[in-house]
Amino acid sequence: MAMLTVWYDGGCPLCRREIALMQRLDRDRAILFVDVADPAGASCPIDRADLLARFHARENGVMVSGAAAFAAMWRVIPRLRLLGLAARVPWVLAMMEGAYVTFLKIRPHLQRVARRLDRERVG
């Protein structure tokens, strides 16, 4: 199985939750997760702002973003593999990308809600 690298925004409460779930599901430790928000982290292969704006992964040496990056990650995780494989069908990936673009539009609101929940849990 090829190694997959995923870049994520560790400053985003939604991203942290999702990556924590993916790390638990990645029992084979086949994914290298890189926190772009961590200044001590590995260097960015592309512009840092681009990495923070969309989800990115490197699969077999090829950078992918958006729904294609999620699909690449899912293909490595046994429980999600079929969903990732389904995304290889062009119209399925197009639908997933449309849903991802819609999510990006509402993400700022969801981030505010998640931050509020984090503060309530701590305080």
The string of pLDDT tens digits covering residues 46-62 is 888 888 889 999 999 99
Q: How many CB atoms are located within 10 Å of the residue 17 CB?
A: 12
C-alpha dist (Å) from residue 53 to 15, 61, 79, 117: 12, 21, 27, 23
- What whole-number distance in Å separates Cα of residue 96 and Cα of residue 18? 17
78-89 pLDDT, tens per residue? 999 999 999 999
Q: Do the beta carbons of residue 67 and residue 93 sit within 8 Å?
A: yes
- Where are the chain's structural domains? 4-122
pTM of the shown model: 0.88
